[in-house]
Amino acid sequence: MRDVTSGPPNDLETLHRIGCDDFEVGLLPVFRHITLSILEADPKAWSRAYDLAVERYGEAIGLPAALGLHKIALCLLNCREDGPALQDPLCPEAKQFVTDDEVQVISMVHHMRRDNASAARSAVAFVTHGRMDPDLIRTALSFAHRFPAGVRRLSKSEARPRLSVVA
């Protein structure tokens, strides 16, 4: 994990102030765990990421969302060997803050889900340090098309698989 003490931290409300919906804000802890699992080869972080996604969105949305974030994280790490600055996903105090890199990754997804190319381009440039990586853009756009704006958080009863009989 990269050092996050280089500047004043943003609070979690920063994501809401830039217009992120609950779906996008909920992606942040999943992204943190996935990125940490890649950077530190920690299989428990990978498992926690998928568990969080399923708990928050249910299996039908959570599993493909976590997989999509995993692909985004891999592409981002191919562009930036140092990886993004992250808050510790297991620290209760750190969970309330976001780094500039985290804000821009979630912002990139936010703008792509709304087909706002100019703002998405700025976010991509920020997280890649100016490199407009086609793999990252393609992967993030694929995620955005799979989860367009308007996806809502499932209630606990909706998140559980249901058995039904078809006659």
In this predicted model, what pLDDT tens digit does every residue of 83-139 receive, in sequence order? 899 999 999 988 889 999 999 999 999 999 999 999 999 999 999 998 899 999 999
Instruction: Encode pLDDT of 28-46 as tens digits.
Output: 999 999 999 999 888 888 8
Across the chain, mean pLDDT equals: 86
Burial of 48 (0-12, 13-18, 19+ CB in 10 A): buried
Asked whether the predicted pLDDT for residue 6 surpasses 50, the reply is: no
The answer to whether 36 touches 85, Cβ cutoff 8 Å, is no
Q: What is the pLDDT of residue 166?
A: 63
pTM of whole model > 0.85? Answer: no
**Residue 52 and residue 56: Cα distance in Å, rounded?**
6
Q: What is the pLDDT of residue 4?
A: 47
Asked whether the predicted pLDDT for residue 7 surpasses 80, the reply is: no
